[in-house]
Amino acid sequence: MAVVTLNAVGKTYPNGFEAVKPSSFTIADGEFVVLVGPSGCGKSTLLRMVAGLEEITAGALQIGEREVNDVDPADRDIAMVFQNYALYPHMTVRKNIGYGLKNRGTSTDAIEAKVQEAAKMLNLTELLDRKPSQLSGGQRQRVAMGRAVVRDPSLFLFDEPLSNLDAKLRNQMRIEIKALQRRLGVTSIYVTHDQVEAMTMADRIIVLNGGEIEQIGTPAEIYHSPASTFVASFMGAPPMNLIEAWIEDGAVRVNDGTLLASSGNRTVGPVHLGIRPEDVQLAENGQIPFDISIVEELGARRLLHGELGGQPFTVHVGKDVPATAGQTTVHLKPESLCFFDPKTGKAT
């Protein structure tokens, strides 16, 4: 268990590509932090720098009280779970789980006891004498978890550990991993590009884009107050609606003059107005016309896709709200509106 501090940590690969721009943040003791972002944004690179598998080319990394930039991965007191599990194919489950302990000079009896304990925790007791090739994907995933848990490290690192599982198993393992982490209270960094995983598992989310941190915040903050249009459209399915509008005389209007909201005391000029699809209500006699072209039935909910002020717009309603294609009007919850600067994309 440890605090992890990154002080302007960056990575430039030998070919000159800067995969991670100097980034700083602190992860509290026992916190579960999720790194999320599109493919190639530098999530794995950042995680692997923390693990010591990739050299840190700028800044300083601290795990606990210690600066670990030049510390061997085996000495950083971390455990990592890989996307393809990375089990040792020639070792039994028992040996796979115990290997890290054996190399740290733990006695055979102590190893056996710890392996048994970890196996019990992860329902692996029956499988201890099997080889990885004799296990299902979910079981392999559990062994990989066991290998991390048994070492009782001060930091867990996960690199998309669930992306090779089918949807159902993924949901189940997601909950198990989170519960396990809660119980053990080990500080964790978890990389994923699945925003559902990010939202449900994280204490705090770090959104990365092009090697840069876009926003750090709790899932609620990230969801309801995105710091940029990138975060707004990356997190949430369907993403936040973004409408090009104009602020003048204390009002926000679209091109055709429709009044969307009051602008408070924001400066005059162009703005991107953001609103989550579920924060829009269909209104019988509303002020804002919405032209529905497609109704998507999702069972419990409905997605209404269409146009508002000539721009694509989506509304998310419960299954009890009747909706058909055609003209209607909507109401935007004023407290749910987000304003972004069109030039920088940042929230204003």
Ligand X SMILES: Nc1ncnc2c1ncn2[C@@H]1O[C@H](COP(=O)(O)OP(=O)(O)OP(=O)(O)O)[C@@H](O)[C@H]1O
Q: Does the protein bind other proteins through residue 125 (CB under 8 A)? A: no
89 binds, among Mg ion, ligand X, other proteins, none (CB under 5 to 8 A by kind): other proteins
- The site that binds other proteins (CB under 8 A) totals a number of residues, namely 24
Tokens for 98, please give them. 């115990």
Residue 245 CA to residue 255 CA, distance in Å, equals: 7
- Supply 92's token pair: 């039994």
Residue of 93, 24, 20, 94 whose CA lies nearest to 57: 20
Look at the alpha carbons of 119, 203, 212, 234 in this order and tell me if their dihedral is positive or negative.
positive
Q: Is 87 in the site for other proteins (CB under 8 A)?
A: yes
- The residue with its CB nearest to Mg ion is 44
265 binds other proteins, rule: CB under 8 A: no
118 binds, among other proteins, ligand X, Mg ion, none (CB under 5 to 8 A by kind): none
Out of 23, 27, 33, 45, the only residue in the binding site for ligand X (CB under 6 A) is 45
Among 4, 6, 33, 41, binds ligand X (CB under 6 A): 41
If one asks whether residue 30 binds other proteins (CB under 8 A), the answer comes out as no
With respect to ligand X, which residue has the nearer C-beta, 94 or 170? Answer: 170
Q: Is 327 in the site for ligand X (CB under 6 A)?
A: no
Candidate list 17, 26, 28, 84; residue touching other proteins; CB under 8 A:
84
Shorter beta-carbon distance to Mg ion: residue 44 or 96: 44
Chain Cα centroid distance, residue 298: 24
Find the binding residues for other proteins in span 94-123 (CB under 8 A).
Answer: 99-100, 103
To the nearest whole angstrom, how small is the minimum distance from the Cβ of residue 344 to other proteins?
A: 38
User: What DSSP element (H or E) covers 111?
Assistant: helix 108-121
Residues 5-24, one symbol each (x = binds ligand X by CB under 6 A, - = not), give --------x-x-x-x-----
Distance in Å, CB of 152 to other proteins, minimum: 14
Cα torsion 346, 223, 5, 210 to 10°: value is: -50
Q: Choose the stretch contacting ligand X; rule: CB under 6 A; options: 36-44, 128-136, 177-185, 315-323.
A: 36-44
Residue 188 binds ligand X (CB under 6 A): no
At its nearest, how many Å lie between Mg ion and the CB of residue 314?
29
Alpha-carbon torsion angle 276, 281, 286, 290, nearest 10: 60
Which CB, 100 or 342, lies closer to other proteins? 100
Tokens for 288, please give them: 């804002």
Ranges of beta strands (E only) in the chain are 4-12, 18-27, 32-36, 58-63, 66-67, 78-81, 155-159, 187-192, 204-209, 212-217, 241-248, 251-253, 259-262, 269-275, 280-283, 288-297, 301-308, 311-318, 326-332, 338-340
Under rule CB under 5 A, residue 44 binds Mg ion: yes
Residue 39 binds which entry of ligand X, Mg ion, other proteins, none, CB below 5-8 Å type-dependent? ligand X
Contacts of residue 175, defined as CB under 8 A and 6 or more positions apart, other chains included, come to none
Q: N- to C-terminal Cα distance for the chain?
A: 38
Q: Encoding tokens for residue 135?
A: 């296990």
Judged by CB under 8 A, which stretch of 59-67, 79-87, 240-248, 308-316 contacts other proteins? 79-87
Interface residues with ligand X (CB under 6 A) are: 13, 15, 17, 19, 37, 39-45, 193
